[in-house]
């Protein structure tokens, strides 16, 4: 079964609790929490205090935190304390400290996800596959919701899945950006088992039907 991670980047932030409740009622499995620092990516979103409040309002939800920030090790503990279950960080943010950053996130007690942007070869994550709970493959350049899916993402997912199979390891593979029913299907066939949906989920006429369709992939 494929898990639907609902990106709250497209939410009405004045009504975040209500919007999240609706996404969960529609069938979202996970809340995907995008953190942008205006430095690693050219946009600023929200930080740990917002997650603290959301977690207090909805404590039983799985929070998949996607750090698009320059110094993930420095802030990992803040997000863990705020209620993160899994912390993703970008390999491009810490090219010379990937192992140390994995260890720093692991130290917080959260699950660890390593993320690659579209221009990073999938082979970049291969040395770390044994240590990861999840690999997050971006389907768009990180920074903004509502962008068009980059088609080469599918072969990137397939390359990571093939290497996992070859090595006998099984981190989950998640895809983020540009996911709709069509691209979700392609990614699931290539080996992804968690799909982030932001704008497609918020815009859907029938969110329950959309979540059901993606979860069945
Ligand atoms: C982009 C974010 C995504 C974004 C996805 O940098 O990481 O999580 O919210 O939005 P959609 O589904 O609209 O591409
Ligand atoms: Zn994201």
Dump pLDDT digits (tens) for 187-205.
999 999 999 999 999 999 9
Q: Which ligand is located closest to the Cα atom of residue 10?
A: 1
Is a pLDDT exceeding 90 seen at residue 180? yes
Closest C-alpha residue for ligand 1 atom 12:
198
Encode pLDDT of 95-147 as tens digits. 999 999 999 999 999 999 999 999 999 999 999 999 999 999 999 999 999 99
Here the tokens at position 174 are 């998640």
Q: Tell me the average pLDDT across 23-31.
A: 97
Positions annotated as catalytic residues are: 34, 176
Encode pLDDT of 47-79 as tens digits. 999 999 999 999 999 999 999 999 999 999 999
**In the beta sheet, which residues pair with residue 115?**
90, 136
pLDDT for 197: 97
Per the document, the length of the chain is 217
Are the beta carbons of 114 and 98 closer than 8 angstroms?
yes
pLDDT for 1: 86
Is a pLDDT exceeding 90 seen at residue 18? yes
Here the tokens at position 151 are 């088609």
Are the beta carbons of 25 and 6 closer than 8 angstroms?
no
Choose the residue to mutate in 4, 6, 7, 201 for probing ligand 1, maximizing ligand atoms within 8 Å of C-beta: 7
Closest C-alpha residue for ligand 1 atom 4:
145
**In the beta sheet, which residues pair with residue 63?**
31
pLDDT for 185: 98
């Amino acid at each position: 079964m494929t898990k639907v991670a609902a990106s709250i980047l497209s939410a009405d932030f004045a009504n975040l609790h209500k919007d999240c409740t609706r996404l969960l009622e529609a069938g979202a499995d996970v809340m995907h929490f995008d953190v942008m620092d205006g430095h690693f990516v050219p946009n600023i979103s929200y930080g740990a205090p917002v997650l603290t409040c959301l977690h207090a309002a909805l404590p039983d939800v799985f929070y998949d935190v996607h750090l698009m920030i320059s110094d993930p090790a420095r802030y990992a503990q803040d997000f863990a304390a705020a209620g993160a279950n899994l912390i993703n960080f970008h390999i491009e943010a810490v090219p010379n400290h990937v192992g140390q950053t994995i260890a720093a996130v692991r130290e917080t007690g959260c699950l660890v996800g390593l993320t690659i942007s579209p221009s990073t070869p999938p082979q970049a994550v291969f040395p770390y596959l044994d240590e990861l709970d999840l690999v997050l493959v971006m389907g768009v350049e990180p920074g903004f919701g509502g962008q068009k899916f980059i088609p080469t993402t599918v072969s990137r997912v397939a390359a990571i899945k093939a290497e996992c199979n070859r090595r006998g390891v099984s981190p989950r593979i998640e895809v983020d950006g540009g996911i709709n029913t069509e691209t979700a299907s392609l990614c699931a066939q290539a080996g992804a088992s968690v799909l982030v949906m932001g704008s497609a989920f918020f815009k859907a006429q029938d969110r329950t039907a959309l979540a059901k369709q993606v979860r069945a992939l």
